[in-house]
Amino acid sequence: MTRTTKRALRLSCVPMSGMTILAIFAAPAAAQAPAADNEAQASNEIIVTAQKREERLRDVPVPVTAVNASELLAQNQTKAQEFFASVPGVNLQFQNNRAQLAIRGITTSPVTGNPVVGFTIDDVPYGSSTGQGGLFGAAPDLDPSELARIEVLRGPQGTLYGASSIGGLVKYVTVDPDLDEFGGSIGAGVQRVHRGGQSFGYNVRGSINVPLGETTAIRASAYTRREPGYIDNVRTGEANVNSSQVTGGRLSALWQPSETFSLKLSALYQERDIYGSSNVDASLGSYYLQSDQIGAGRSRSDTQMYSALINADLGGVDLTSVTAYSRATNYDFLDFTASPLTGFLFPLVFPDVTEFGNVLRQGYDVNKFSHETRLAGTVGSAINWIVGGFYTHEKANYSIDTAAVNPADGSKYGSPVIWDDDVKYEEYAAFANLDIALSDQFDIQFGGRYSKNTQKMTHREWVRVSPAPDPAFYAETTPSASGDSFTFQVTPRFKPSPDHMIYGRLATGYRPGGPNAGCSDDPSEPVPCQFMPDKTVNYELGAKGVLMDGLLSYDLSLFHIDWSDIQITQVSSLGTFTFNSNAGKARSRGFELAFEARPTEGLTLKAWWAYVDATLREPFASEVVYAARGDRLPYSSDHSGRASFNYETPVSERVTVSFGAAATYVGERKGEFVPVEELAPLRQSYPDYVQLDINAGLKFDDWSLNVYVQNLTNEAGVIGGGFYNQTSFNADWFNYIRPRTIGLSVDYNF
C-alpha cells in the first residue's frame, strides 16, 4: 500500500458487535466525502488495528466492535455512559460521576483492586495500572470530535496489550494530520434535558488541518461542551446541580520525509468539571431529587498526554516506536454520611455534636511514562510475526480527607481521618505474535507475553479517636508488592471462502496485584501487606462473514471465561477503611450475535443480541464480604440487545436527508455483594429497561444539520447505586440514565 493510499483510508463505522457500516473516506472528515462512503459500503473493506497491524475487520479473529466517531457526534453521544451502552457484552457502572465498564461480566465492584478493562489512546496506555492511582479504571471521557473511531475488544487481551485487560480493551484512535489537503470543520449544538428547567446545554468545536510542504502537516482542534443539570438538591435548595463542563484540545504534527519513515507528535489536554453528583435519593419519591450534603458532589479532572510515534520501514521489517508521558489530576467530594465511619468514630472525636455529615474528599495525581518498541515482518508468504518490548513507570498520589461537617450549613468540624499514599509502579514486558499460514484457507496464530512489575507504597495516616487536645494517632507503613506473569493466545482461523471466516481462540489475561495501605499483622484486625494477581482464561469460537454480495453481514462468538484468584475489596472489621485481598473463582459464558443488512440503497438495518452468564464458582473466603457459589457477578446483564435502522437518500444533487432510530435493551443486573450472609436477600437488583433514540440529518454541500432525541420515552434505567454501595453506603441512592434529551447540531466542513 502506498503512502498516499494509507493517508486516504479512514474508517467509518457504527456500534455493532464487530459489524459496521462500511465506509472508507478521505481525511480529515467523513462528511467531506459522501461518494467515497457509498463506494466503501459496497466494498466491505474495513481496516482496524485490533492486533497492532492493519487488517480487515472481518478477518480479525478477535471479537471487535468499531464505533465511528462521526456517528457519535451526529447522535450527540459525547460521554462514555452514552456510547458504551450500545456495545455488545458491555455493561456500564456509573459511580462517583464516572463511567466504568464491565466486559462480559468480569468485575466484582467499581472500587475493587486494579482495573479490569484497559484503555489506550493511539496505542498509548491511558490511566494508572493501579486502583489507588487511576480512579479504578474509569473510562476516558474524551470528546469524539477528534477521534476517528473507538475499537472495543471483548475478552482478555493480555498478549498484545498486557496487564489490566482481563475483561477486554478499548482503543481510542485519533485523526491523523493530512499531508495533502488544507481543511477543517467547525460545529455547534444545543440540547435540552427533561426537567432541566430553563437550562440549555451547548457544544462548540473546531479543527483545522494545515499541510506545510509535501512532508509535514499539523492538525489542531478545540472543543467545549456544557451538559445541563436536571437534579435538584432538597438540602441546599439548588436546582439542576449535576451540570458539567468539558473543555479540551489536541495538537498533532506529522513529518513524513519518505515512503519509509514517519514521525507523529501529539499533545492532548482536557479539563472536566462536574458541579454536582447525579445521585438520586429514592426515599424522596422522585427521579429528579437528591439530598447530598452541602459541599458534596463537586469533582474535577485534568488530563494531559504527550506522545511520539515513529514508523519506519527497515527493509523488510517494520519498526514502530511509541513513547508517551501523561499527567492526570482528579478530585471528588463525596457524601459519605451513611458510612460506618460517621456513626462510629465521629462521636468519639466530637462528643458535643449531635448530628454529623461526612464529606469525603478523594484526590488522585498520576504521572506516567511509557514506551513500546515493536518490529513486524514476514517470512516468505506464509509467516507474519511481531516482537516487541514495553516499559512503564508511574508515580501516583492518593489522598483521603474525611471531613466531619455540620449538615445544616456545611461548616467543617474537623477531619478525624486523613490518608496520603504515594505509589510507584514499574513494569517491564516482552511479547511476540506469530501467524503461520498452513494453506490458503487455514492459518494459526501463537502469541506470548512475559511481564514483571514492582510496586512500592508509602502510606501515611492520621486518625483521631478522642477529642482535642489529645493528639491524633499517626502511622506510616511502606508495603511493597511484585509479581510476574506469562500470558498467551492460540488462535486457529479457517476461511472456507474469501467472504467467511471461522476461528477459535484460547487467550489469557493478567491483572497485577499490589500493596495494601493498611498493612497490619495485628491479630484483632489483620490486613495482608500484598494482594495477589488474578487471571482469566478465555475459550472462544467465532464466525464472521458476508452474504449476498455484501447485503448481509454476520458476526457470532461463543465464549467461556474462567477467572481465578479474584481481587476483592474488603471492609476492615471496625468498618473504618477498605483493603484488597483475593477470593476464589468465577465463570462467564455466553454468546454475542450480530447482523447488518442493506436491503435497499441507503437503508441499513442492524441488530445484535448478547447473553452473558457470569457467576461465582466458589464462595468468597471473607468475613466481611459475603458471596455464595452461583451468585451473579455485579453489573452484568444476562440478556442485552440493540436494533436500529438508518436511511439516507439524496433529494437533489446538493441535498441529502437521513433519519434513523435505535432501541437498546439492558437486562436485569445485580449490584455489589453484601457484607454478611444475613443481608444476602437485600442485595440490590437493577431492573431491565429499553432506551429509544431517534435522529435525523440534512446535508447541503459542506453543511450538515442533525437533530436527535435520546431516551425518547424518558425511561428511568438504573446504572448504579442501591444496597450495598461502597461508594456512598446509602441504600436509597441510585444513578439513572439521562432523561429525555432533545438537541440539534450544525457543522461546516471546509
Q: How confident is the model at residue 574 (pLDDT cuts 50, 70, 90)?
A: low
Residue 20 above 60 pLDDT?
no
3-state SS, residue 59: helix
- 587-600 average pLDDT score: 95
Which residue is associated with the grid cell 494545515? 210
- 76, with CB counted inside 10 A (0-12, 13-18, 19+), is buried
Residue 712 above 80 pLDDT?
yes
pLDDT of residue 406: 96
Q: What are the backbone angles phi and psi of residue 479, rounded to the nearest 5°?
A: -70, 155
Contact 663/644 with Cβ under 8 angstroms?
yes
pLDDT of residue 69: 80
pLDDT of residue 550: 84
**Full set of structural domains in the chain with CATH:** 185-749 (2.40.170.20)
| Exposure on the CB side of residue 682, measured as CA atoms within 13 A | 13
Using CA atoms, how far residue 591 sits from 21, 185, 559, 614, in Å, is: 22, 40, 6, 12
CA 81 vs. chain centroid, Å, equals 9
Using CA atoms, how far residue 682 sits from 129, 517, 568, 719, in Å, is: 33, 30, 20, 18
Identify the residue with better confidence: 322 or 521: 322
pLDDT of residue 2: 39
- 500-524 average pLDDT score: 88
Rounded Cα distance between 291 and 333, Å, is 14
Beta-carbon contacts of residue 563 (< 8 Å; ≥ 6 apart): 106, 166, 534, 535, 536, 585, 586, 587, 588
- 229-243 average pLDDT score: 95
Residue 30 above 50 pLDDT?
no
Residue 676 above 80 pLDDT?
yes
- 410-431 average pLDDT score: 95
pLDDT of residue 426: 97
pLDDT of residue 571: 66
Q: What's the mean per-residue pLDDT of the chain?
A: 87
Q: What are the backbone angles phi and psi of residue 488, rounded to the nearest 5°?
A: -150, 165
pLDDT of residue 576: 56
- 11-20 average pLDDT score: 33
Could you give the percent of the chain with pLDDT greater than 70?
A: 90
- 199-214 average pLDDT score: 93
Task: Provide the Cα torsion 240, 221, 70, 137; round to 10°.
Answer: -60
- 654-660 average pLDDT score: 96
Could you give the percent of the chain with pLDDT greater than 90?
A: 69
pLDDT of residue 698: 96
pLDDT of residue 53: 87
User: What is the number of residues in the chain?
Assistant: 750
Bond prior to 156 in cis (omega within 30° of 0): no
Bond prior to 28 in cis (omega within 30° of 0): yes
Write down the pTM of the prediction.
0.89
- 226-254 average pLDDT score: 95
pLDDT of residue 310: 98
pLDDT of residue 96: 62
Tell me: the pLDDT tens digits for 182-204? 999 999 999 999 988 777 999 99
Residue 580 above 80 pLDDT?
yes
pLDDT of residue 33: 33
Residue 450 above 90 pLDDT?
yes
pLDDT of residue 136: 53
pLDDT of residue 81: 64
Q: Which H or E element spans position 554?
A: strand 552-564
Q: Per mean pLDDT, which of 576-580, 638-642, 673-677 is the most reliable?
A: 638-642
3-state SS, residue 8: helix
Rounded Cα distance between 692 and 425, Å, is 44
Q: How confident is the model at residue 5 (pLDDT cuts 50, 70, 90)?
A: very low
Contact 188/204 with Cβ under 8 angstroms?
yes
